[in-house]
Chains A and B, each alone.
Chain A
Amino acid sequence: MSGETLSPPRRAGIRALDRTVPRTGRRGPRGRTAVRTVVGIVLAAYAAVSVYPFLWMVSAAFKTNKEVQEGGHLLPHDPTLRTFADTWNKLDFFDYFLNSVKVTVLTTVLVVVVYSAASYAFSVLAFPGKKWLYRLFLVLLFVPGVVTLLPIVLLESKLDILGTHWGLILPFVNGSAPLAILLLTNAFSSVPGELREAARMDGAGELRIFSRIYLPLARPAVITIALLTAIPTWNEYQLTRISLNDPHTYTLPIALQAMQSQSVVQYNSLMAAALIMVVPVIVLFLCAQRYFVNGLMGAVKG
């Protein structure tokens, strides 16, 4: 029993050992260097694999069409910004860009607002039918998007929103429901119930508790869900392709598709356009990645 009182310092000792044991271990200094080299090579190799298509995308975007067709080297011999400028100007890319931003931002905001509220109810409040409703939303996770695509198109043509941006946003939001509810309900459930009780004693209502306690405490999960919604929405192609007809409403994926289906694919402009599309996502990810990684980890543990 006395071991229990001793355990904290002992554990610390083990942890300290931990850092030294695997390194010194049974291998000599030479073996250690060899292991480190192998580890370094493996890690660097996979890093190269991860960014490989992306590197060529950047490379092609700074090449002329002639150089791209010749192929053969990663670094442009004669880097040019013309490809970018032409692509941006020629194809109303700014309009497409704004359309994409509009659809993505509205979808993401709606997902966060609607499903964090629902998840608060699912995790904290008691009401009849709660379990049943929660399960219903989770089963939706397994309904293939392609089954509902056609009914959505037909429904929207009846409601007269087919081809508009709202005609994209509403199904996107609804489609994000299962994952958002799963993740946010988990996150809210791990908030200690005492906080809610204490706030109620102080006279706070549900809305206040939700917005002042639960939402801030679940920030990693909220940001994770925002990213997990924003990225696929930014890239969405299947529904967008069949519902948008008017070039003024086009989003970036459709613009890219239009460039690719020309008789001769000009890979330098296509890659410049692709880069314009990818860079915002990478920036967004880099800004939010601290929360994102924690949020995903929380989701797994929950």
Chain B
Amino acid sequence: MTAGIGTATAAGAGKGAGSPSTAERGGGAPRRGPFGALREKRKQAAWGYLFVAPAIALFAVMGVYTIVYGFSLSFAQWNGFWPEWNWRGFRNYTDLLGGSPTYWPIVKKAAVNTLWVVIAVPLLTVLVAFPLALVLNQVKRFQGVLRSVYFVPYVTTGIAVYFAWNYILEPNGAVNLLLKTVGLGSLQQPQGWLGNPDTALATMIVVMVWSAVPVAMLLYLTGLQSLDSSLLEAAQIDGAGWLRSTTTVVWPLMKPITVVVLLLNVRDSLQGFQSFLIMTNGGPGDSTSVLGLETYRLAFLSELSPTLGLASALGWLLFLAALVVAFINQRVMRRMG
């Protein structure tokens, strides 16, 4: 199969190359003096551009245009049908950040909800995934099978499983039933877990953690398995128990992985909103509205109101937030060496 792909690329790229045969012939030539080296360098550069050309071409059409367009739209007012944009400078941004009595409350509520998600999801993911990987690393016999089972949430996450969650979170759904069976009937939610404004956001956070744990667990497991076992050995000889050696030796060594897990999940929970769009659509009321979802709504679900510019501006604010997070992450990584 890989060979097939290779030849397909060869055919496609060969057409653009002009004279691929000469290039092929000279490919293996050893260096012959400064002039030859220069030619060699040029040829390699030509091949380099050729190999990235399809990616760049697609990016030029689907990326550059859309990004430039989206960015300029964030400074305008438009409803998608007006023949012209109504330029308003930074007003979209200032409106979103407190200036508009209509949009500021919406954004504020969504920002608070998003903040909860951005804090809770990464932390809980680490809190579940790290111990799970530790325990899984202890067993030898069923490790492969269990790892696959633990991967089911990651593999299946999408609209189908979101609907399955909706189904088991219903008033007479499986979660309430389970609580009754184990004698915690008082915790049942008669309106359903997503129907009660007080539990809806927390429930969504649980669902998000459920789908984020598999990758985090796998990353930790990889880290644990590449751990130098003599370190643990030394700690145990020094009389440290399992818990002690885990917290003082293993956990610090897993720091780089923790940073990656946190970063991935901060980004996803900052920008991702598919689960919210499908499962709650922000409701009940505005109890599960998040910034990504509000952006989508302003762009596509606000009928004829001229909110497309606002949607763009909100999206770019999210981009900025993600960049800040990435920057902080890089600083932290560097400090850890």
Q: Do A and B come from one complex?
A: yes
Chain A interface residues (CB < 8 Å from chain B): 11, 14-15, 17-18, 21-22, 25, 39, 42-43, 46-47, 49-54, 56-57, 60, 71-72, 74, 109, 112-118, 120-122, 125-128, 130, 133, 137, 140, 142-152, 154-155, 170-171, 173-174, 177, 181, 199-208, 210-212, 215-216, 219, 222, 231-232, 234-235, 237-238, 242, 252-253, 256-257, 260, 267, 270-271, 273-275, 277-278, 281-282, 285-286, 289, 293, 296-297, 300-301
Contacts of A199 on B, CB cut-off 8 Å? Answer: 28
Interface residues of B in 213-256 (CB under 8 A from A): 214-215, 218-219, 222-223, 226, 229-230, 233, 236, 242
Question: Cβ of B160 and Cβ of A235 under 8 Å apart?
Answer: yes
CB of A132 to closest CB in B, whole Å: 12
Nearest to B260 among chain A residues (CB) is A300
CB of B104 to closest CB in A, whole Å: 20
Question: Cβ of B167 and Cβ of A174 under 8 Å apart?
Answer: no
Question: Cβ of A215 and Cβ of B2 under 8 Å apart?
Answer: yes
Q: A51-B152, A212-B3 are in contact. List 11 more A-B contacts (CB 8 A).
A: A15-B229, A53-B168, A118-B55, A127-B45, A127-B46, A148-B63, A155-B65, A205-B24, A208-B24, A293-B218, A300-B219
Contacts of B14 on A, CB cut-off 8 Å? Answer: 207
Out of B62, B222, B319, B323, name the residue touching A152 (CB < 8 Å): B62
Contacts of A137 on B, CB cut-off 8 Å? Answer: 55, 59
Q: Mark B148-172, 1 if CB is under 8 A from A, else 0.
A: 1111110111111101110110101
Question: Cβ of A256 and Cβ of B150 under 8 Å apart?
Answer: no
Contacts of A142 on B, CB cut-off 8 Å? Answer: 267, 319, 322-323, 326
Question: Cβ of A152 and Cβ of B66 under 8 Å apart?
Answer: yes
CA A205 – CA B29 in complex, angstroms? Answer: 10
Out of B67, B273, B278, B308, name the residue touching A143 (CB < 8 Å): B67
Contacts of B267 on A, CB cut-off 8 Å? Answer: 142
Question: Cβ of B52 and Cβ of A155 under 8 Å apart?
Answer: no
Does residue B287 face the partner (Cβ distance < 8 Å to A)?
A: no
By size class, the interface of chain B is: 35 or more
Contacts of B50 on A, CB cut-off 8 Å? Answer: 121
Q: Is the interface of A mostly helix, strand, loop or mixed?
A: helix
Does residue B135 face the partner (Cβ distance < 8 Å to A)?
A: yes
CA A274 – CA B167 in complex, angstroms? Answer: 11
Question: Cβ of A144 and Cβ of B160 under 8 Å apart?
Answer: no
Question: Cβ of A270 and Cβ of B2 under 8 Å apart?
Answer: no
Chain B interface residues (CB < 8 Å from chain A): 2-3, 5-10, 13-14, 20, 23-25, 27-28, 30, 41, 44-52, 54-56, 58-59, 61-63, 65-67, 69-70, 73, 131-132, 135-136, 138-139, 142, 146-153, 155-161, 163-165, 167-168, 170, 172-174, 177, 210, 214-215, 218-219, 222-223, 226, 229-230, 233, 236, 242, 257, 260, 267, 271, 273-274, 277-278, 292, 295-296, 299-300, 308, 311-312, 315-316, 318-319, 322-323, 326
Question: Cβ of A42 and Cβ of B10 under 8 Å apart?
Answer: no
Question: Cβ of B311 and Cβ of A150 under 8 Å apart?
Answer: yes
Contacts of B165 on A, CB cut-off 8 Å? Answer: 53
Question: Cβ of B159 and Cβ of A237 under 8 Å apart?
Answer: yes
CA A278 – CA B59 in complex, angstroms? Answer: 31
Known: A18-B229, A53-B168, A128-B45. A207 touches B13 (CB 8 A): yes
For A46, A109, A120, the residue with the greatest tally of chain B CB atoms inside 10 Å of its CB is A46
Question: Cβ of B7 and Cβ of A211 under 8 Å apart?
Answer: yes
Known: A144-B315, A300-B257. A57 touches B63 (CB 8 A): no
Contacts of A208 on B, CB cut-off 8 Å? Answer: 24
CB of A161 to closest CB in B, whole Å: 11
CA A27 – CA B283 in complex, angstroms? Answer: 53
CB of B167 to closest CB in A, whole Å: 5
Question: Cβ of A14 and Cβ of B156 under 8 Å apart?
Answer: no
Question: Cβ of A117 and Cβ of B51 under 8 Å apart?
Answer: yes
Question: Cβ of A271 and Cβ of B163 under 8 Å apart?
Answer: yes
* Shortest 4 CB-CB contacts between residues of A and residues of B: A211-B6, A235-B158, A127-B48, A147-B315
Out of A22, A115, A127, A289, name the residue touching B44 (CB < 8 Å): A127
CB of A186 to closest CB in B, whole Å: 13
CB of B91 to closest CB in A, whole Å: 18
Question: Cβ of B66 and Cβ of A148 under 8 Å apart?
Answer: yes
Question: Cβ of A47 and Cβ of B150 under 8 Å apart?
Answer: yes
Question: Cβ of B173 and Cβ of A71 under 8 Å apart?
Answer: yes
Question: Cβ of A72 and Cβ of B300 under 8 Å apart?
Answer: no
Question: Cβ of A72 and Cβ of B167 under 8 Å apart?
Answer: no
Nearest to B160 among chain A residues (CB) is A274
Question: Cβ of B28 and Cβ of A204 under 8 Å apart?
Answer: yes
Contacts of A115 on B, CB cut-off 8 Å? Answer: 55
Known: A47-B149, A144-B292. A150 touches B167 (CB 8 A): no
Question: Cβ of A127 and Cβ of B49 under 8 Å apart?
Answer: yes
CA A142 – CA B300 in complex, angstroms? Answer: 22
In the complex, 23 of the A-B residue pairs with CB atoms within 8 angstroms, ordered by the A residue number, are A11-B230, A17-B233, A21-B233, A39-B138, A71-B172, A114-B54, A125-B44, A146-B271, A147-B319, A152-B66, A173-B58, A205-B27, A207-B14, A212-B6, A242-B300, A260-B163, A267-B170, A274-B161, A278-B158, A281-B155, A282-B155, A286-B148, A296-B219
Contacts of A273 on B, CB cut-off 8 Å? Answer: 160
Question: Cβ of A238 and Cβ of B277 under 8 Å apart?
Answer: yes
Question: Cβ of A296 and Cβ of B51 under 8 Å apart?
Answer: no
Known: A125-B44, A126-B48. A146 touches B277 (CB 8 A): no
CB of B145 to closest CB in A, whole Å: 9
Question: Cβ of B292 and Cβ of A125 under 8 Å apart?
Answer: no
